[in-house]
Structure 1
């Protein structure tokens, strides 16, 4: 891992203000490798509170704005205006803010979901391509090194023919109606703010994207989904869902998305089963990857070791034996966003064409998957052709 040699990208945030856990993660990740420089922000729906927070972060008070529209317009007039913006606001605002940012010629890094409908996602994709701008989506777990190891193992045939994909993100922190006392959770179960789903979009799309990174050659052919609101007040949004999928090569998959898996801390696991061997990754033990060859003892591969494929060592920060976690994974992701943005500025590093990061297509596919799951579930849990 080497630090950026070029000028940092002038960067701003919308949302992620005081008390926002995700906002803190964005800033820590973006600033870690000198790839981005925070120069402006519209951090809060409360203008005064947002301005005060920006000042506390060390921003010029004139660049701590009341809202995103004012910020985009004012920064566009500056010779040193922002070049990229991160969006860390409730789901229902993502499309409008992302569209406005692209129309102002900005690169965008957006919390998922990118938007609520495939039509909206396709509009954002068209805008990004027309303007030559990057749209990144913060599927932050993709920044863990062992995901790249898994991808390389599949590509190199270590597992044989892929047969079964077993995915889950099933935690237990919302097994009761915690939103009644927690405003930061309440909007997630309100269709007006969260959109057409709760756990399918909130947690299910994370392992879905990891599977897309590891298995880029597999395409979903059809799926069947059932969803439940075990905490009845959350209806019509689900707090538990099970999705079965068939791929175009005959492989099958399932995704368990849940916030009511009582006792589970996080519960995000990815298991890929091939004709020769299987691999399994669990985000509570992100530095390890289980490699299970039929008829042989289980092997636990460790992050940062020389026996890994080179792709898994590119993002290594501190060498084997030292545990890395979510902040490092997000920093790896932001570094990739920065490299991709740098490519549009004429400073693309060697090998940029192989750079893997969750871009606008990943955001679109996440929205497409949720849309298909909801369509299946609302029709009684029937098989639907993936479209």
Structure 2
């Protein structure tokens, strides 16, 4: 169990690009990174408007001299300081991720980046090569993958409790954009503009989340081919989609489906994953994250509860409070940031980590999946070999 003690000797000197006033995701980054004293927020380029960003940073107790007008200025000036930043989190619109991440890696910084990492596989592989060349960690914020019951699901599958895996059903299907909310909501407007969002909307924005949950639970299963159909039910969003179905075939013969949607009217969040094996199935839903359903054919349904002693060691290790009390998004993100810090420490010491986290490769694969989905959908929803 985690009691808030430091996991590394000295906090990582940390900065943010973006995540300023009005950014919900920025607050989640800060709450999660700072919770266990593994990071210390010492600098930032929080806003595209320099004075507003500086005012915001001062309200976070950041030295006003270290509240910068842009990320390039921050990287340059921090490199001149003996106590300069060691890591940066990128919480900006999609179209900026590639250039910021590239500049950060070239500046010798560890990176935590919002997804998508970038827009093309070519760009993603370039960033992966830079991370390897500079021995830097890049973490991707697939937030709920840090929840303890994802570890329990991974454990059950690895131990053969489900038997051979046959079907993986995934969805992230909410209803908050069932009408053209972007007309009055700037934070949604850029998400439906290809110049800022990239080649997709819901495929990249929500679909990659349950896709990575599947990758975390089933690390050995690889996609062989897929077929994607995407729609723009709110017409002004075309050519970007607000709904998509993706069918997949895996190399081991299993099949999968991802429903990515922002127009599922009435749905609050709708991120679920169900893994079906020859003997049993498991299901997890992020609106009820403290329960994992375990269904063995011919036996009563079991509800596995977070924090209980019958769970595996990996699922108990990152609990922050005993069973019965709910843990959710903030705790899952905090667990990820703790892993990011440990991975950064190991990289600085020239060591390899012996634990998983959503790393640069996960970022590359998310971009690869979206690229293949768009290629399939834009060619008439055909089956395409996964590449």
Match for residue 355 of structure 1?
A: 355
| Residue of 153, 158, 161 corresponding to 1:155 | 158
1:14 aligns with 2:17: yes
| Residue of 140, 154, 179 corresponding to 2:182 | 179
Whether contact under 8 Å (2:242, 2:263) holds in the other structure is: yes
Q: What secondary structure, in the 3-state scheme, does the structure 2 residue paired with 1:354 have? A: coil
Match for residue 140 of structure 1?
A: 143
| Residue of 245, 254, 257 corresponding to 2:248 | 245
Whether contact under 8 Å (2:14, 2:86) holds in the other structure is: yes
| Residue of 101, 104, 115 corresponding to 2:104 | 101
1:60 Cα deviation (Å)? 0.8
Match for residue 365 of structure 1?
A: 365
Match for residue 318 of structure 2?
A: 315
| Residue of 65, 69, 74 corresponding to 1:71 | 74
| Residue of 52, 57, 60 corresponding to 2:55 | 52
1:347 Cα deviation (Å)? 9.2
Q: Name the CA distance, whole Å, in 2 between partners of 1:136 and 1:45.
A: 23
Q: Name the CA distance, whole Å, in 1 between partners of 2:237 and 2:381.
A: 19
Whether contact under 8 Å (2:343, 2:353) holds in the other structure is: no
Match for residue 212 of structure 2?
A: 209
Q: What secondary structure, in the 3-state scheme, does the structure 2 residue paired with 1:330 have? A: helix
| Residue of 318, 335, 338 corresponding to 2:338 | 335
1:73 Cα deviation (Å)? 0.1
Match for residue 221 of structure 1?
A: 224
1:90 Cα deviation (Å)? 0.2
1:131 Cα deviation (Å)? 0.4
Q: CA RMSD in A?
A: 0.9
Match for residue 324 of structure 1?
A: 327
Q: What secondary structure, in the 3-state scheme, does the structure 1 residue paired with 2:269 have? A: coil
**What pairs up with 1:113-124 in 2 under 5 angstroms?**
113-124=116-127
Q: Name the CA distance, whole Å, in 1 between partners of 2:63 and 2:254.
A: 54
Q: Name the CA distance, whole Å, in 2 between partners of 1:130 and 1:314.
A: 32
Q: Name the CA distance, whole Å, in 2 between partners of 1:142 and 1:94.
A: 21
| Residue of 173, 176, 194 corresponding to 1:191 | 194
1:359 Cα deviation (Å)? 0.4
Match for residue 42 of structure 2?
A: 39
Q: What secondary structure, in the 3-state scheme, does the structure 1 residue paired with 2:204 have? A: helix
Q: Name the CA distance, whole Å, in 2 between partners of 1:310 and 1:340.
A: 20
1:110 aligns with 2:89: no
Match for residue 383 of structure 1?
A: 383
Match for residue 257 of structure 2?
A: 254
1:345 Cα deviation (Å)? 2.5
Q: Name the CA distance, whole Å, in 2 between partners of 1:330 and 1:181.
A: 29
Q: Mind listing any 5+ residue stretches in structure 2 that lack a counterpart?
A: none
CA deviations 1:210-265 (Å, max 9, x no partner) are 00000011000000000000000000000000000000000000000000000000
Q: What secondary structure, in the 3-state scheme, does the structure 2 residue paired with 1:381 have? A: coil
1:136 Cα deviation (Å)? 0.5
CA deviations 1:62-101 (Å, max 9, x no partner) are 1000000000000001000000000000000000000000
Q: What secondary structure, in the 3-state scheme, does the structure 1 residue paired with 2:160 have? A: coil
Q: What secondary structure, in the 3-state scheme, does the structure 2 residue paired with 1:253 have? A: strand
TM-score normalized with structure 2 length: 0.98
State how many pairs are aligned: 384
- Structure 1 stretches of 4+ moved >4 Å: none
Q: What secondary structure, in the 3-state scheme, does the structure 2 residue paired with 1:169 have? A: strand
Q: Mind listing any 5+ residue stretches in structure 1 that lack a counterpart?
A: none
Whether contact under 8 Å (2:346, 2:353) holds in the other structure is: no
Q: What secondary structure, in the 3-state scheme, does the structure 2 residue paired with 1:38 have? A: strand
1:325 Cα deviation (Å)? 1.1
Q: Name the CA distance, whole Å, in 2 between partners of 1:174 and 1:20.
A: 18
